[in-house]
Amino acid sequence: MSGVLILEDGTCFPGKVFGYMGKNQGEVVFNTGMTGYQEVLTDPSYYGQIVIMTYPLIGNYGINIDDKESLKSHVRGFVVREKSMFYENYRASESLEEFLASHKIVGLEGVDTRALTRHLRNKGTMRGIITTAYDMGKTDFEEFSRNQVQMVTTDKILKYPNPGGKKLAVLDLGLKQSILKGLLSKNFAVDVYPAWTTIEELEKANPDGIFLSNGPGDPKDAKNAIEIVKYFLGKKPICGICLGHQIISLALGADTYKMKFGHRGLNQPVKDLRSNRVFITSQNHGYAVKEESLGSDLYVSHRNLNDNTVEGVSHKTLPVLSVQYHPEAAPGPADSMYLFDDFYKLIEGVKNA
């Protein structure tokens, strides 16, 4: 069935609808990864977005249970150049099209994704409507939700015991399963808390450290998480990834801004300024920390070598560690898993001081 992606500047990109036959809208973003479409579709950080995959052929290895980053998809639409007609993988349990249909995600194939991506790079990220030709109707654009974290967080405390491991309180702002697996593999005992958890609840739990996950939306909207970080600064070692990194920076007095089109892919070069080593990283974010807003007690620990944006912040005296990219990858290279080790050592240092 014929369909179209309509951008809020009036530009239209025609194609053929697959997956769910309907209409949806969201923020239109692009991902440059050659693989990893399943992880993209199930990453809560993509809540409310229409995702364009720049690699021309998508769907050839199907969908499997093991690689899902959450129980459901939060993507609003999925745009590809060519959808593979067949999939082949011994772990696959369903096709990409079957997954989109069951999660009510409108897919659009046959789109000139190169032209679409260049348009967004030139004009910046914008809202869009993806629809079938028979369901176009009104094309009024809704305002972006300001409560995105609350839509993807857990609704109850989840406990993952690890005898002898450091007790870690993870604030779920849109937690990926790969982060949880990565922390457990580093001998942490993990308790996952909803985003609305109170300071009193965390204080009563008395964890060895606090970890803030990735997640969707503007970090300035996550006011409860910012207050939690402010309260525990200097009291507990704190680590954050992606949205968690931005929230930690805000709590420390820095500022954030919305990027023109963000970083979404698995080939972003980042330099660890502490070791002068360069790592290829997996990223998914549309906001960044303003370097000029960092106070004298903070320093940039990691930097993106493509555009020099801040990729990590540390504190000169307090046990704080945060990075903008995803050390757990999924999809992408796992070169930076050492950061989970660094946080474990940071907690041990505080406990032994």
* Residues labelled catalytic: 242, 326, 328
Separation between Cα atoms, residue 218 and residue 140, nearest integer Å: 22
Number of H helices, E strands in the chain: 9, 19
306-312-313-319 Cα dihedral, nearest 10 degrees: -160
Element (H, E) at 153: none
| Residue 169 CA to its chain's centroid (Å) | 19
Sheet order of strands, 188-193 included: 158-160, 188-193, 166-171, 209-212, 238-241, 320-323, 310-315, 298-304, 256-272, 277-289
Separation between Cα atoms, residue 107 and residue 211, nearest integer Å: 35
State how far the alpha carbon of 303 is from the alpha carbons of 5, 45, 200, 246, 287, in Å. 34, 21, 35, 14, 15
Q: In the numeric block, which tokens belong to residue 300?
A: 């940039």
